[in-house]
């Protein structure tokens, strides 16, 4: 296990406190990151229905998944064997059966007094059909949205979680260097992606890497105005800007990092935009501290880039931590107008204040942890991308 049973129990207790506040008797968790956070379960099995079920009045949660994945739950979670429930392969991708029918039948047989249930309505891997089966099968319960209940508990990290994220930050440095080294005139963009991916998984000499929740993003040349483009097999031309957005990942904990570089001498517009972005980042990082609000952080950024004649109409960052594909964000706090979340020590964020113009984009980012007096970067890699 990545953490002690004591730490898992503390996390569970915080979740139960939130359940009690909402009047929820039982919580159905389908988000793989939340399942991992509470039980330690780690497997590429989220393409089929699975759950962690937390009963308010029971000490230990239940893991529910495909029968062939039970051994994975035994290997990675702290749960007792009797708390590992499963369904047969005849339920996998069936048109007439659904795994949630099995879970609902088990609940009706063993847990008859629970009346109010919470489900993660907007979790990536929780389908409308799964909810329909739970609602019809657990007819004695009323279901309500408990989306982000666990995510909000995850926002303040333990010291050991921070240690893992710092390791992820070290891996991000290695991966970014591999990307830098591969960006050359005449190189194929796909080969840059391959170099980054190899470095992400190899990690450092002291510890290996995990697969990140998002593949390397590599908008190149005229495509830098589109932030979420992956890669092509086109060759890099002299003067082409290349955005590299990646993450180091260790034990499912992420430290994203983005840089924009050029193959050869950059043009004046690129240099001016890069300098505005870097100044904005420096201003923010010097002002971040416990007690300020997320929206205050974003306003610092806007005030800085406005002096350069730029503005940005999208958020400049978000909370990060443990996660699985397709996203490394926690979906809770965002650095944007209106977000009243107050920063606390051991919160972790990806500060990604990219600016995308009509025909050019510059993306430079830093992941940081809020400390007692300010913040600390999870990676140490030069921001300047030209001489």
pLDDT at position 385, please?
62
pLDDT at position 173, please?
98
- Average the pLDDT over 310-315 and give the result: 88
pLDDT at position 387, please?
46
pLDDT at position 357, please?
86
Look up the pTM and report it: 0.96
Instruction: Give 264's pLDDT tier (boundaries 50, 70, 90).
Output: confident
Q: Cα-atom radius of gyration of the chain, to the nearest Å?
A: 22
Give the mean pLDDT of the chain: 95
The tens digit of pLDDT for each residue in 98-109 reads: 999 999 999 999
Tell me: pLDDT of 364 over 70: yes
**d(C-alpha 249, C-alpha 111), whole Å:** 38
Percent of the chain exceeding pLDDT 90 equals 88
Tell me: pLDDT of 277 over 50: yes
- Average the pLDDT over 99-123 and give the result: 93
C-alpha distances in Å from residue 93, one per residue of 160, 358, 359, 382: 38, 43, 44, 47
Lowest model confidence (mean pLDDT) among 11-25, 180-194, 211-225, 373-387: 373-387
DSSP states along 301-365? HHHHHHTTT----S--EEEE-B--TT--EEEEEESSTT--PBP-TTBEEEE---EE-SS-EE--B
CB 185: neighbour CB atoms within 10 A? Answer: 12
Lowest model confidence (mean pLDDT) among 163-167, 185-189, 221-225: 221-225
The tokens for 68 are: 């062939």
The tens digit of pLDDT for each residue in 27-48 reads: 999 999 999 999 999 999 999 9
Domains in the chain, CATH or no CATH each: 5-154 (3.40.350.10), 159-377 (3.90.230.10)
Residue 16 contacts residue 173 (beta carbons within 8 Å):
no
Lowest model confidence (mean pLDDT) among 174-183, 191-200, 308-317: 308-317
**d(C-alpha 225, C-alpha 24), whole Å:** 45
**d(C-alpha 247, C-alpha 381), whole Å:** 13
Percent of the chain exceeding pLDDT 70 equals 99
pLDDT at position 360, please?
86
Tally of CA atoms within 13 A in the half-sphere of 355 that contains its CB: 23
Backbone angles phi, psi at 299, to 5 degrees: -65, -35
Lowest model confidence (mean pLDDT) among 29-43, 189-203, 297-311: 297-311
Instruction: Give 386's pLDDT tier (boundaries 50, 70, 90).
Output: low
Tell me: pLDDT of 112 over 80: no
Buried residues in 335-354 as b, exposed as e (16+ CB within 10 A): bbeebebebeebbbbbbbbb
- Number of residues written out for the chain: 387
Under DSSP, is residue 21 helix (H, G, I), strand (E, B) or coil?
helix
Lowest model confidence (mean pLDDT) among 35-39, 353-357, 369-373: 353-357
**d(C-alpha 282, C-alpha 79), whole Å:** 45
pLDDT at position 266, please?
82
**d(C-alpha 307, C-alpha 297), whole Å:** 17
pLDDT at position 313, please?
85
Tell me: pLDDT of 184 over 60: yes
- Average the pLDDT over 263-291 and give the result: 91
Helices marked H in the chain: 5-22, 32-39, 70-76, 99-110, 128-137, 149-154, 159-182, 189-202, 268-287, 294-306
pLDDT at position 265, please?
82
pLDDT at position 268, please?
87
- Show Cβ contacts of residue 233 under 8 Å, excluding neighbours closer than 6 positions: 188, 189, 190
Under DSSP, is residue 45 helix (H, G, I), strand (E, B) or coil?
coil
The tens digit of pLDDT for each residue in 46-80 reads: 999 999 999 999 999 999 999 999 999 999 999 99
Residue 277 contacts residue 362 (beta carbons within 8 Å):
yes
Residue 357 contacts residue 274 (beta carbons within 8 Å):
no
């Amino acid at each position: 296990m990545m953490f002690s049973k004591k730490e898992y129990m503390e996390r569970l207790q915080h979740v139960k406190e939130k359940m009690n506040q909402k009047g929820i008797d039982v919580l159905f968790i389908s988000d793989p990151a939340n399942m991992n956070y509470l039980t330690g379960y780690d497997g590429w099995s989220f393409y089929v229905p699975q759950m962690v079920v937390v009963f308010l009045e029971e000490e230990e949660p239940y893991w529910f998944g495909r029968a062939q994945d039970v051994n994975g739950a035994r290997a990675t979670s702290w749960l007792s064997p009797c708390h590992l429930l499963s369904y047969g392969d005849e339920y996998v991708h069936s048109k007439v059966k659904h795994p949630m029918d099995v879970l609902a039948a088990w609940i009706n047989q063993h847990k008859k007094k629970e009346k109010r249930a919470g489900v993660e309505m907007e979790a990536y891997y929780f389908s409308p059909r799964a909810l329909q089966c739970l609602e019809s099968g657990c007819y004695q319960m009323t279901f309500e949205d408990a989306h982000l209940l666990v995510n909000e508990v995850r926002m303040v990290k333990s010291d050991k979680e921070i240690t893992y994220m710092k390791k992820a930050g070290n891996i991000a440095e290695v991966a970014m260097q591999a990307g830098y080294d591969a960006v050359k005139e005449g190189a194929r963009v796909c080969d840059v992606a391959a170099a980054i991916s190899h470095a992400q998984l190899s990690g450092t000499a002291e510890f290996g890497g995990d697969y990140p929740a998002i593949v390397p993003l590599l908008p190149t040349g005229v495509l830098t105005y589109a932030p979420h483009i992956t890669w092509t097999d086109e060759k890099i031309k002299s003067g082409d800007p290349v955005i590299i957005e990646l993450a180091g990942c260790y034990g499912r904990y992420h430290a994203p990092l983005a840089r924009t570089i050029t193959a050869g001498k950059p043009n004046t517009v690129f240099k001016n935009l890069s300098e505005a972005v870097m100044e904005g980042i420096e201003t923010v990082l010097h002002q971040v501290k416990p007690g300020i609000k997320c929206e205050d952080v974003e306003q610092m950024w806007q005030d800085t880039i406005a002096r350069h004649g730029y503005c940005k109409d999208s958020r400049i960052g978000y909370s990060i931590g443990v996660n699985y594909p397709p996203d490394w964000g926690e979906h809770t706090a965002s650095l944007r107008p209106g977000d009243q979340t107050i920063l606390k020590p051991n919160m972790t964020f990806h500060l990604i204040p990219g600016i995308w113009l009509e025909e050019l984009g510059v993306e430079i980012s830093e992941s940081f942890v809020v400390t007692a007096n300010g913040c600390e970067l999870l990676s140490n890699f030069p921001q300047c991308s030209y001489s």
